[in-house]
Amino acid sequence: MTYFLQQALNALQLGSVYALIALGYTMVYGVLTMINFAHGDFFMVGAFLCFICVARLHLGFVPTLLVSMAGVALLAAAVEFSAYRPLRRAPRVSAIITSLGVGIFLEHLTLALSPYPQHIPPAFTNLNWSAGGLAVSSLQVVTVLLSVGLMAALQFVVARTPLGIAMRAVSWDRETAALLGVPVDRVISATFAIGGALGGAAGMLYALSYPVIDPYMGVLVGWKAFISAVVGGIGDIRGAMLGGYILAAVEIAVAVALPSTYRDFVAFSLLIVLLIFRPYGIFGRPRPQKL
Partner 1 sequence: MIAELTGSIPAVGASCRNAAQLAAKEINDAGGIEMEGGKKKMIELVIEDTAAKADQAAAAAQKAITRDDVAAIVGPNSSSNALPAAEIAEKAGVVMIAPWSTNPKTTLDAQTNQPKQFVFRACFTDTFQGHVLGKFAAEILKAKKAAILYDVASEVLKSQSELFKQSFEAGGGKVVAAETYTTGDKDFSAQLTKIKQAGPDIVFLPSYYTDVPLQVQQAHRLGLKVPFLGSDAWSTEELIKMCGKDCDGFYLSNHYSPQTTNPVTRRFIASYQAAYGSVPDDVAALTYDSFGLLKAALAAAKTTDRRAIRDALSRTTDYKGVTGDMRFTPGSGDPVKGAVILQIKDDKFVWVTDVRP
Q: Which helix (H) or strand (E) holds 213?
A: strand 212-213
- For the chain, the first-to-last Cα distance in angstroms comes to 56
- Contacting residues toward partner 1, per CB under 8 A: 3, 6-7, 10, 13-14, 111, 115-117, 119, 121, 126, 128, 130, 133, 135, 137, 139-140, 206, 210-212, 214, 217, 220, 251-252, 255-256, 259-261, 263-264
Residue 111: CB minimum distance to partner 1, A: 7
Least Å from the CB of residue 211 to partner 1: 7
CB neighbour class for 194 (10 Å; exposed up to 12, middle 13-18, buried from 19)? buried
User: Quick one: 261 or 289, whose CB is closer to partner 1?
Assistant: 261
Q: Helix, strand or coil for residue 285?
A: coil
Residue placing its CB nearer to partner 1 in the complex, 81 or 216: 216
Q: What is the DSSP code (8-state) at residue 134? A: E
State how far the Cα of 92 lies from the Cα of 33, in Å rounded to an integer. Answer: 8
Which of 188/227 has CB closer to partner 1?
A: 227
Min dist CB 89 to partner 1, Å, is 39
Q: What three-state secondary structure class fits 283?
A: coil
Least separation, in Å, of the C-beta of 210 and partner 1?
4
Of 80 and 107, which CB lies nearer to partner 1 in the complex structure?
A: 107
Cα–Cα distance, 252 to 14 (Å, whole number): 9
Minimum Å distance from CB 42 to partner 1? 18
In angstroms, what CA-CA distances link 180 with 169, 174, 288? 10, 10, 21
Residue (210 or 280) nearer to partner 1, CB: 210
